[in-house]
């Protein structure tokens, strides 16, 4: 029998709470599978006067604490923006399932702590290069350049030499306050809103 509080996807019925769980399982997958469309969300912050958006790599999802994390250079603009305003939004879209997630939350910034030390130990030499530019990300340059010395660019450096990048390495942890779930479907789209600030899970008009 049709239950109006549930939706049917491929003959399976889903409640709001099933969908909320499914969001987190997709976010967990997105962090561990580099080919997942959820691996590279767009993240928005608010600067002094304007919104800025950029692609990042989803590095970790912790459903228990409703947290998602990405790595960045502490000298970047987004880091400074988040220091003055921790409000943050992350946008995910999977074209194969036609599911969009919009996460809103507050960022906490990690630097020189167990979380960053642990993640840094697991980074590859290639990833460490991102934190080894002489000048800060977004500095203007007279020439087109990676900002790295030729040796570093060619990965002619040892793991020990790459340790210097740790001082620029930061982790942004987004404490998710709400998820706006949208599923596009030819027979009628469906949308739901999961608000963790008041614990309400509701259907929405798409």
Binding site for ligand FMN (CB under 6 A): 40, 52, 54-57, 70-73, 76-78, 137-138
C-beta of 1: minimal distance to ligand FMN in Å?
46
CB of 90 to ligand FMN, least distance (A): 12
Contacts of 177 (CB under 8 A, 6+ apart): 104, 105, 106, 195, 196, 197
Rounded to whole angstroms, the Cα distance separating 89 from 178 reads 10
Rg of the Cα atoms in the chain: 20
* Residue 144 vs 199, nearer CB to ligand FMN: 144
Q: Return d(Cα 111, Cα 183) in angstroms, integer.
A: 37
* C-beta of 56 vs 90, nearer to ligand FMN: 56
C-beta of residue 43 within 8 angstroms of C-beta of residue 49: no
The dihedral over CA atoms of 165, 36, 79, 103, expressed in degrees to the nearest 10, equals: -160
Q: How far is the CB of 37 from ligand FMN (least distance, A)?
A: 12
CA–CA dist 60, 118 (Å, integer): 13
104 vs 133, beta carbon nearer ligand FMN? 133
| Cβ proximity to ligand FMN, 56 vs 107, nearer residue | 56
Cβ 170 to ligand FMN, closest distance in Å? 9
* Residue 43 CB, nearest approach to ligand FMN (Å): 8
Q: Which is nearer to ligand FMN, 79 or 183 (CB)?
A: 79
To ligand FMN, the closest distance from the beta carbon of 156 in angstroms equals 24
Return all residues near 39 (Cβ < 8 A) that are at least 6 apart. 30, 31, 33, 57, 58
The tokens describing 109, both together, are 């910034």
Q: Which is nearer to ligand FMN, 6 or 111 (CB)?
A: 111
**What 3-state DSSP class applies to 6?**
coil
């Amino acid at each position: 029998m049709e239950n109006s509080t549930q939706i049917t996807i491929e003959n399976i019925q889903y409640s709001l709470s099933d969908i909320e769980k499914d969001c987190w399982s997709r976010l967990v997958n997105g962090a561990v599978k580099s080919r997942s469309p959820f691996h590279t969300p767009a993240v928005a912050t608010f600067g002094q006067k304007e919104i800025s958006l950029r692609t990042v790599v989803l590095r970790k999802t912790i459903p228990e604490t409703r947290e998602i994390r990405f790595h960045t250079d502490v000298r970047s603009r987004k880091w400074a923006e988040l220091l003055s305003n921790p409000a943050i939004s992350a946008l995910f879209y999977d074209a194969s399932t036609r599911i969009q997630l919009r996460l809103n939350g507050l960022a906490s910034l990690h630097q020189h702590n167990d979380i960053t030390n642990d993640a840094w130990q697991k980074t590859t030499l290639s990833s460490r290069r991102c934190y080894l530019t002489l000048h800060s990300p977004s500095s203007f340059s007279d020439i087109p350049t990676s900002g790295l010395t030729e040796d570093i660019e060619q990965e002619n450096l040892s793991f020990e030499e790459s340790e210097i990048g740790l001082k620029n390495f930061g982790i942004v942890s987004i404490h998710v306050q709400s998820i706006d779930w949208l599923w596009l479907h030819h027979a009628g789209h469906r949308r739901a809103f999961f608000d963790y600030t008041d614990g309400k899970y509701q259907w929405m008009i798409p």
